[in-house]
Structure 1
C-alpha cells in the first residue's frame, strides 16, 4: 500500500491520464500530492504576463484543474504543491526529501531521438528517485 503518492502534473492530457492511474493505485488511506513545477524557463514569460502574484497562482491552479477534478470525483485524498525550478531535478529532489512511496508521472511521448537529445522529465525522474516510479503513456 502506498501512503504518500507524488503525482507530477503540468496541466497536460498526460497528467490527466497519470491522475486516473493514481486513483486506481491509491487506497483510502493514501495521500496523492499533486506537484506542479513552475519551470524557470517558462516562468519568466508567465510572470511578465501576470497582473499580480495572485493571478499567476490562479493561472497555475487553472492548469491543474482537470487533474484535480479527476481526483475529486474519485473521492481521493489529495493536495497541491507548487514548486519552482527545472521540473526533472526539482521533482526528484522533492520526492527524495519527502520520502514518498511512489512517483507517478505522465510521458510526453518523445521519440527515441528527441529523448536522447532533449532528455525527458519522466526519464530523469525515473532514473533518480529513490522509490518506485510509474510513467503513464
Structure 2
C-alpha cells in the first residue's frame, strides 16, 4: 500500500478503472492528492471570456464530483489541488518533490478505442518521474 499518492486528473476524465486501481493502492493512512493543472491556454481563454480562476476551479470541481463520490464511498482520504501551469512539467515536478510514493494517471488517449499510444502528459511523466508511475488504460 502507498501512503502518498499523486493523482493527476484531467477534468473530463471518463476512465473509471483508474479510480478502482487507486482504491487497490490505498490502505490505512493513505492519502490521495488530486492535482488538476489549469494550463496557460485555459487561463488565457478564461481571461478573454471574463472567467476568473475561482470560477474555473468551481466548474472543474463540479465535473469531478464522481471522483469525490467514489473516494468517499471507498473511505479514501483525499485532497484537491488546483495548479496553474504546464500539465507535463507541473506533474513531473510534483512527482519528484519527494512528497509522493507513486503517480497515478489515466491515459486520456487510451479512452478512445482506436488509440493505443500514450498521451503526451502520460508519456512525459512516465519518462521523467523518479517514482513509480501507474498509467491506467
- Asked if Structure 1 and Structure 2 have the same fold, meaning a TM-score greater than 0.5 normalized by the shorter chain, the answer is yes
Is the 1:28–1:77 contact (alpha carbons within 8 Å) kept by the matching residues of 2?
no
From the superposition, tell whether residues 59 and 103 of structure 1 become closer, same or farther in structure 2 (CA, over 3 Å): same
| Residue in structure 2 matched with residue 24 of structure 1 by the alignment | 24
Count of residues in correspondence between the two structures: 132
- The SS at the match of 2:7 is strand
Report if the CA contact (8 A) 1:107-1:135 is conserved: yes
Contact kept in structure 2, 1:96 and 1:130, CA below 8 Å: yes
Partner of 1:129: 129
Tell me, in whole angstroms, the C-alpha distance in 1 between the residues paired with 2:92 and 2:105. 11
Say whether residues 1:61 and 2:61 are aligned partners. yes
Contact kept? 2:46, 2:52, Cα under 8 Å? no
Q: How many Å separate the matches in 1 of 2:14 and 2:43?
A: 20
1:83 aligns with 2:83: yes
1:44–1:63 CA distance, 2 compared to 1 (3 A): farther
Residue in 1 aligned with 2:120?
Answer: 120
Please state whether the residue corresponding to 1:135 is helix, strand or coil.
strand
Task: Using structure 1 for the length normalisation, give the TM-score.
Answer: 0.84
State the shift of 1:63 in Å. Answer: 2.8
- Structure 2: state its 5+ residue gaps: none
TM-score (norm. length: structure 2): 0.84
Pair 3,121 (structure 1): closer, same or farther in 2 beyond 3 Å: same
Please give the root-mean-square deviation of Cα atoms over the aligned residues, in Å.
2.0
